[in-house]
Amino acid sequence: MAPECDPIQALIAQRGTVSFRDFMELALYHPRHGYYGAGRAALGRGGDYFTSVSVGPVFGELLGTQFREMWERLERPGVFTIVEQGAHDGAFAADVLRWTRAEAPDFFAALRYEIVEGLEVLRRRQRERLEQFADKVKWRTGVEELPRFTGVHFSNELVDAFPIHAVCFREGEWRERYVTAALEWTDRPVENAALMEQLQDLPRIEGYTTEVNLDALQWARALAGKIERGWVLTVDYGFPRERYYAPERRHGTLRCYAGHKTGMDPLMRPGQCDLTAHVEFTSLAGAFLRGGMELAGYTDQHHFLTGLVSSACAGRAPTAQQARGLKTLLHPEMLGTSFQVLAASRGASVAGLAGFQFARDPGRELGLT
């Protein structure tokens, strides 16, 4: 066992065998030994993976145009709050705030920016990057700290990093996957009623292995209760439920990432690499609906950003820098079709946002019609 793996292994030994959900939480978010908690996550060419934000400022600039349109749809309230969760080092917030200050000063005057961040190491980085906007930005450690607000909650690659329950179908029953102190798998019959409910219509194929993200459903219901008027807009890689749990996807979507390489064994380097699973968007959308929101849009990133470009750049061509960034953001073999964009709303229009002008009916696409 490599020395860098010892801290997480020791924590499991103290607790005894733990569910994979708890293992993933330790490996990612432990404040001293976790991949995110200890500040090891690195984005961009020299890091472990790319995000739309690391491509350059064009992503934040285009989302800024979408946020401004949302403000206008609400008839320009005197205070419009953007809540970002999963802000990493604050680069997206900086891109949005810089663009808004320069291109939409009336919107900037009404804008309040809040970042939900539970990890102190990331809050420090965000404060450093956003120092020039100190009068605009406030931090919260969790969704529960948010007051009800008018505006938009935005996240990019947040939900895929929520700890998931790993399950498999063996010998005629569903079993939950656990991790021993020796960092080995062991399976037990499912005892969690909420987890079992999510498994009812899944393929009952011997050896079929997959994931269920109960944390995402709890998050969505809690977040829905914070929206007075406005939207939730979340971007991530994933599928509707029917495609996510297709019989041919029998090994699930759980992966680990390091140095731009992906691996299948999430137990191999706990705390040293990213752990992630794709988002099952149908159940996530359903959780927002049960929280009293309406489905406002669902499409892939290519079509979403194309809609924003067609509105924001009407009558003028993108700059050379923007064009380079858009090539990566829109390309179907890069980020364009891998990422999906989901929107839910309360007290706001559910149709016609620029980013969804080329989208299909969201209820039908998600199997919720």
* Architecture of the domain made up of 53-162+213-252+276-365: 3-Layer(aba) Sandwich (3.40)
The answer for 142, left when phi > 0, alpha when psi is -120 to 50, beta otherwise, is beta
For residue 173, what are the β-bridge partners? 170
Q: What is the predicted pLDDT for the residue at 13?
A: 92
Q: What is the predicted pLDDT for the residue at 266?
A: 92
* Most confident range, picked from 262-271, 321-330, 351-360: 351-360
The amino acid sitting at 172 is G
Sort 12 into a burial class: Cβ within 10 Å, 0-12 / 13-18 / 19+.
buried
- Position 47 pLDDT exceeds 60: no
- Position 336 pLDDT exceeds 80: no
Report the alpha-carbon distance of residue 248 to residue 137 in Å, rounded: 46
pLDDT band at residue 264 under the 50/70/90 scheme: low
Report the alpha-carbon distance of residue 79 to residue 39 in Å, rounded: 33
Q: What is the predicted pLDDT for the residue at 1?
A: 40
The answer for 53, left when phi > 0, alpha when psi is -120 to 50, beta otherwise, is alpha
pLDDT band at residue 268 under the 50/70/90 scheme: confident
According to DSSP, residue 49 is labeled B
pLDDT tens-digit series, residues 145-171: 999 999 999 999 999 999 999 999 999
Report the alpha-carbon distance of residue 271 to residue 261 in Å, rounded: 16
What's the distance, CA 332 to chain centroid?
20
Sort 33 into a burial class: Cβ within 10 Å, 0-12 / 13-18 / 19+.
buried
Task: Report helix, strand and coil shares of the chain as percent, to nearest 5.
Answer: 40, 25, 35
Q: What is the predicted pLDDT for the residue at 54?
A: 81
Mean pLDDT across 224-237: 98
For residue 81, what are the β-bridge partners? 112, 151
Distance (Å) of CA 185 to CA 29, 177, 181, 207, 283 = 21, 7, 10, 14, 27
pTM: 0.94
Q: What is the predicted pLDDT for the residue at 4?
A: 47
- Position 312 pLDDT exceeds 90: no
pLDDT band at residue 55 under the 50/70/90 scheme: confident
SS3 label, residue 113: strand
Between these two residues, 335 and 95, which has the higher pLDDT value? 95
pLDDT band at residue 3 under the 50/70/90 scheme: very low
Mean pLDDT across 64-81: 97
The secondary element (H helix, E strand) that includes residue 231 is strand 227-239
The answer for 259, left when phi > 0, alpha when psi is -120 to 50, beta otherwise, is left
Q: What is the predicted pLDDT for the residue at 326?
A: 77
Lowest model confidence (mean pLDDT) among 97-101, 138-142, 336-340, 341-345: 336-340
Between these two residues, 52 and 98, which has the higher pLDDT value? 98
Lowest model confidence (mean pLDDT) among 25-34, 35-44, 289-298: 35-44
Distance (Å) of CA 176 to CA 19, 160, 282, 355 = 8, 19, 22, 39
Mean pLDDT across 313-326: 68
SS3 label, residue 292: coil
Report the alpha-carbon distance of residue 286 to residue 150 in Å, rounded: 22
Tokens representing 26 are 């330790």
Lowest model confidence (mean pLDDT) among 107-111, 301-305, 330-334, 361-365: 330-334
Distance (Å) of CA 2 to CA 8, 141, 149, 265 = 12, 33, 47, 15
Between these two residues, 127 and 321, which has the higher pLDDT value? 127
Q: What is the predicted pLDDT for the residue at 278?
A: 97
Pair 86, 156: CB distance under 8 Å: yes
> Both ends of the chain: CA-CA distance in Å?
50
Distance (Å) of CA 209 to CA 183, 194, 252, 276, 321 = 18, 18, 6, 15, 43
pLDDT tens-digit series, residues 170-202: 999 999 999 999 999 999 999 999 999 999 999
Residue range(s) occupied by CATH 3.40.50.12710 in the chain: 53-162+213-252+276-365
Distance (Å) of CA 10 to CA 79, 153, 269, 364 = 48, 37, 14, 47
- Position 34 pLDDT exceeds 50: yes
